[in-house]
Amino acid sequence: MAENKSAFGQVTYEVVPDLRITGGVRYSHDLKSRKGQTVVDTYDSIGNSYSIGNFISRQVNQINDASRTFSEVTWRAGVDYDSPLGLVFASVSTGYKAGGFNDGCEIGTGTNCGLPAGALYYDPETLTAYEAGFKFRFSPAFRLNGTVFHYDYQGLQLSQLSDICGGPCQVTTNAAKAKIDGVELDANIQPTDRFTVRLALNWLDARYDQFTPDPVVNFAGRPLNRSPKWSWIAGLNYVVPVGEGKLVADAQTSSRSRFEVTDLANFAYFYQPAATKTDLSLTYNAPDDRFYVAGFVENLENNLVVTGASTGLFGAVTFADPRTYVSADGRWR
């Protein structure tokens, strides 16, 4: 069970025309609790492995009743300026993610509770974020947005396989410090009322600043999972009037550089090579949007893309959808 209570406030002050400063603060209080136990029932055998006889006994192996509270004060400070081209902004803010439970028992209760605190609980994760950017409109047909950012994580919550429970078990730990630097640009260009071009480019440097899951292993400097260094999107949209309805053609290609799929906490190394994905669609919209009929193709290249991976006895790898298409799809109102 989880319960959250919070109080927050924010004030914006106009220093001079077109220049504003903003300050805000938030107090969060989280209560997390659970009730449960591990129970083993014993029955008589009646001669084969698929049947059981009379109930003999019940053993409660582990009491899992527990509660924890977490609280944090976070804040934000920012400045905004309305330039002739558009908005320019910068901010510094902090964030917080409450801790929680791992499988185990409450410290100090139950005769079978000999697990260390790390097997039972994990602590909050905190973030300090620095951002600056702009939202410019050079003309009605050309918009350009850009952002640079730096994120500093402390107590990064990671799920990892550990022997902290006396044997292999999956636990969440505050295993790492991490830093993320990035630049994002996106543009929208509309040469005519019917034709639109969408462009986006992202650069990301996301790495562990401190991560030692084992005394002889140091992952400092290694990239965070699912964090490609480069990614981009290019899209085209064209509208053709058909009577009082319209025909809309759309094409979009996206690409990402190589990235690690797993978070390294389990000492597993899976990576996804650089890949490109193209989606195409053609849609007819009836007058007043009474209905539409569409056909599409997704993942035109039919590339194999890993979306997840896990290790162990029941390890598995999951993949994104292969090339998919539909000849017609519609909706009526």
pLDDT per residue over 81-118, tens digit each? 999 999 999 999 999 999 988 765 544 444 445 566 65
| pLDDT-wise least confident of 46-50, 70-74, 97-101 | 46-50
Domain residues for the domain of 214 are 2-224
Mean of pLDDT values over 218-226: 84
Closest by CA position to 78, among listed 9, 12, 126, 16: 12
Q: DSSP string spanning 307-333?
A: EEEE-STT-EEEE---SEEEEEEEEE-
Rounded CA-CA distance 113/109 in Å is 7
| C-alpha 55 chain-centroid distance | 47
* Residue 71 predicted with pLDDT over 60: yes
State the amino acid at position 252 in one-letter form: Q
Rg, Å, the chain Cα set: 27
181 and 43 fall within a common domain: yes
* Residue 132 predicted with pLDDT over 50: yes
16 and 141 fall within a common domain: yes
Whether 174 is in a domain gets the answer yes
Mean of pLDDT values over 53-73: 71
* Residue 318 predicted with pLDDT over 60: yes
Please tell me what DSSP assigns to residue 49.
Answer: T
* Residue 131 predicted with pLDDT over 90: yes
Whether 230 is in a domain gets the answer no
19 and 138 fall within a common domain: yes
What pLDDT score was predicted for residue 1?
80
Whether 285 is in a domain gets the answer yes
What pLDDT score was predicted for residue 67?
80
What pLDDT score was predicted for residue 158?
83
